[in-house]
């Protein structure tokens, strides 16, 4: 029995074979990249499994005592996340079938094996194990966020029930509480966006810019209010499915990826949908996210839909997402475009990549917002904030935390908190953004900036 507990390797592999020469041969083949442990029988393997965590197990079929099929079936029951591989001779195919049925193995390898193929197989198995682990961690985080959103939603529902039984001053108080809960829910969404942008290395504020532009687009496209809200959330969270992807894939543009990396990348819309669809208020946005990488010509992914078979909201988000992404590094063209160049690309690909009618509408939207992501706005130091002002973008602290979400109407309570913030971050330039037609905005202060400008 041999246990290698090196923490510097990419993964931990367990080799089980009653022939010492086979164990040592496989160990020499894999030990450069992985921590490799060996066992001469199923019983020894179970002892090691109880003592340490493994990512992959390679087991011989014919061994004294417990067979490889029985060992892998045991692993399936007690260590279901571990990738299971059977090593067998051609004469053991019947036993291999039993191992596949009972142990649900990932692959089986025939003796004698090809060293390069076996190394590649183990690399794929370790990568799958790593992705599963990352996805489980993210799902736990999403479940926690969904629980918090459900709690806020329940509070909102309770408040609405009270509104029906109250009038006058009490009714006004409850309406204010209702607005506060909605603001809290928006804040939770923006905090989730911050986590996504930090994980994938995107430019801070890009998702908020895309969401605002998508909402403007949806109005011009005569979409209903629920459709606009789903589209806004989908634009904010469109990249959530990229979180469990490997750093190697996220650091490249599509033109730089290998075939296997492109296959991994192509799954992010499905992952995004699965992360959000369990929470009913986000189900509409989840469906948009699944289809937003489809192309009008049918050459997109994951379902290769074409034309009108793609939901209209998803076609809108495809146009907005490409317009925003083309102006940043690591886009699908591999080169950063200026806004005017991005518009020309959309026009060029209308009817192929995009819905031509929607592209024409989008061009009109860009003219109205002056070619930027949002209508002209005023940027004010927080010292000049006044009750009654409505934020046109989120307020982010110098530490990168979303303090107030877009659409928040400032109250006297907010003003006091902002004054405390000034003291806490003395020396930092912190500003709020409001529309320049806000009646509470000073007519002689600030400068026009697009939404999402850095605070």
| CA 117 distance to own-chain centroid | 32
% of the chain beyond a pLDDT of 70: 82
Confidence band for 446, pLDDT divided at 50, 70 and 90: very low
Residue 100 is encoded by which pair of tokens? Answer: 């596949």
Is the pLDDT at 102 greater than 70, yes or no? no
Between 142-151, 214-223, 308-317, the lowest mean confidence (pLDDT) is in 142-151
- Whether the pLDDT of residue 26 is over 60: the answer is yes
* Closest listed residue to residue 30, CA positions, set 119, 101, 91: 119
Q: Are strands 107-110 and 402-404 parallel, antiparallel or unpaired?
A: unpaired
Contacts of 343 (CB under 8 A, 6+ apart): 323, 363, 366, 371
User: Which position has the higher pLDDT, 9 or 377?
Assistant: 9
- Compare 157 and 271 and report the one with higher pLDDT: 271
- Cα 296 to Cα 307: distance, rounded to the nearest angstrom: 5
CA dihedral defined by 181, 183, 186, 187, rounded to 10 degrees? Answer: -100
Which pLDDT score is estimated for 132? Answer: 82
Least confident of 144-158, 170-184, 193-207, 279-293: 170-184
Average pLDDT, the chain: 82
**pLDDT attached to residue 220:** 94
Instruction: Indicate if the pLDDT at residue 169 is higher than 70.
Output: no
End-to-end CA distance of the chain: 59
Write out the two tokens for 341: 């160049």
**Model pTM?**
0.50
pLDDT exceeds cutoff 70 at 103: no
Average pLDDT over residues 287-306: 94
pLDDT band with cut points at 50, 70 and 90 for residue 48: very high
Q: How many CB atoms lie within 10 A of CB 267?
A: 16
What does the pLDDT look like over 395-441, one tens digit per residue?
A: 777 766 667 777 778 888 888 888 888 888 877 778 887 865 555 55
The tokens for 26 are: 């496989």
10, 34 Cβ separation under 8 angstroms: yes
Determine the Cα–Cα distance for residues 260 and 250; give it in Å rounded to an integer: 13
Structural domains in the chain plus CATH codes: 12-113 (3.40.50.2300), 129-368 (1.10.3210.10), 377-449 (3.90.105.10)
User: How does residue 394 score in pLDDT terms, banded at 50, 70 and 90?
Assistant: confident
pLDDT value at residue 245 = 87
Task: Assign 410 to helix, strand or coil.
Answer: coil
- Cα(445)–Cα(204) distance, rounded to whole angstroms? 26
DSSP H or E stretch at residue 199: helix 168-200
Question: Residue 338: is its pLDDT beyond 80?
Answer: yes
Alpha-carbon span 439 to 122, nearest angstrom:
64
Q: Worst-scoring range by mean pLDDT, 49-53, 106-110, 261-265?
A: 106-110
Q: With 80 as the cut, is the pLDDT of residue 78 above it?
A: yes
SS3 category, 18: coil
Nearest CA to 143 out of 182, 106, 192, 178 is that of 192
Model confidence band, residue 454 (pLDDT cutoffs 50, 70, 90):
very low
Structure tokens at 442: 């000073």
Query: Average pLDDT of 369-389?
Result: 71
| Residue 423: burial class (beta carbons within 10 Å; 0-12, 13-18, 19+) | exposed
- Is the confidence at residue 1, as pLDDT, over 70? no
What's the average model confidence in pLDDT over 53-67? 90
Q: So what's the pLDDT on residue 455?
A: 31
pLDDT, position 87: 87
Q: What percent of the chain stands above pLDDT 90?
A: 39
Residue 99 pLDDT exceeds 80: no
pLDDT tens string 172-183? 666 677 666 666
With beta carbons less than 8 A apart as the criterion, state whether 303 and 291 touch: yes
- Secondary structure (DSSP) of 311-322: -HHHHHHHHHHH
Please calculate the CA angle 404-407-409 and round it to the nearest 5 degrees: 75
Q: Is the predicted pLDDT of residue 21 greater than 80, yes or no?
A: yes
């Amino acid at each position: 029995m041999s246990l290698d507990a090196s923490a510097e390797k990419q993964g931990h592999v367990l080799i089980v074979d009653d022939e010492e020469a086979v164990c040592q041969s496989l160990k020499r083949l894999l030990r450069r990249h992985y921590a490799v442990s060996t066992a001469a029988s199923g019983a020894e393997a179970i002892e090691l499994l109880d003592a340490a965590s493994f990512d992959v197990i390679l087991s011989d079929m014919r061994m004294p005592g417990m067979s490889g099929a029985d060992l892998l079936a045991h692993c399936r029951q007690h260590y279901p996340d571990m990738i299971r591989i059977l090593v067998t001779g051609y004469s053991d195919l019947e036993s291999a079938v039993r191992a596949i049925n009972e142990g649900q193995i990932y692959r089986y390898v025939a003796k004698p094996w090809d060293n390069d193929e076996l190394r590649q197989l183990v690399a794929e198995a370790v990568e799958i194990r790593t992705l599963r682990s990352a996805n489980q961690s993210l799902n736990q985080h999403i479940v926690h966020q969904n629980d918090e959103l459900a709690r806020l939603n329940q509070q909102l529902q309770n408040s609405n029930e009270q509104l029906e039984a109250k009038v006058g001053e009490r009714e006004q108080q409850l309406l204010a509480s209702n607005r506060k809960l909605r603001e809290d829910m928006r804040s939770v969404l923006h905090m989730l966006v911050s986590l996504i942008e930090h994980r994938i290395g995107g430019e801070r504020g890009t998702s908020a810019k895309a969401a605002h532009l998508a909402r403007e687009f949806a109005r011009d496209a005569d979409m209903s209010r629920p459709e606009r809200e789903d589209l806004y959330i989908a634009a904010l969270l469109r990249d959530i499915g990229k979180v469990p992807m490997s750093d190697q894939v996220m650091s490249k543009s599509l033109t730089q990826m290998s075939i296997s990396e492109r296959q991994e990348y192509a799954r992010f819309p499905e992952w995004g949908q699965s992360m959000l669809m369990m929470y009913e208020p986000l189900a509409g946005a989840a469906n948009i996210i699944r289809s937003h990488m489809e192309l009008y010509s049918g050459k997109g992914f994951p379902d290769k839909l074409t034309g009108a078979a793609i939901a209209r909201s998803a076609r809108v988000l495809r146009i907005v997402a490409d317009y925003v992404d083309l102006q940043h590094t690591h886009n699908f063209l591999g080169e950063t475009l200026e806004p005017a160049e991005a518009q020309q690309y959309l026009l060029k690909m209308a009817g192929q990549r995009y819905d031509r009618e929607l592209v024409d509408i989008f061009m009109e939207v860009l003219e109205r917002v002056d070619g930027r992501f949002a209508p002209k706005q005023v940027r004010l130091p927080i010292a000049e904030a006044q009750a009654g002002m409505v934020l046109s973008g989120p307020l982010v602290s110098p530490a990168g935390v979303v303090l107030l979400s877009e659409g928040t109407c400032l109250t006297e309570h907010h003003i006091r908190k902002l004054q405390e913030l000034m003291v806490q971050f003395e020396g930092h330039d912190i500003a709020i953004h409001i529309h320049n037609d806000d009646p509470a905005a000073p007519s002689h202060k600030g400068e026009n900036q697009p939404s999402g400008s850095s605070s």
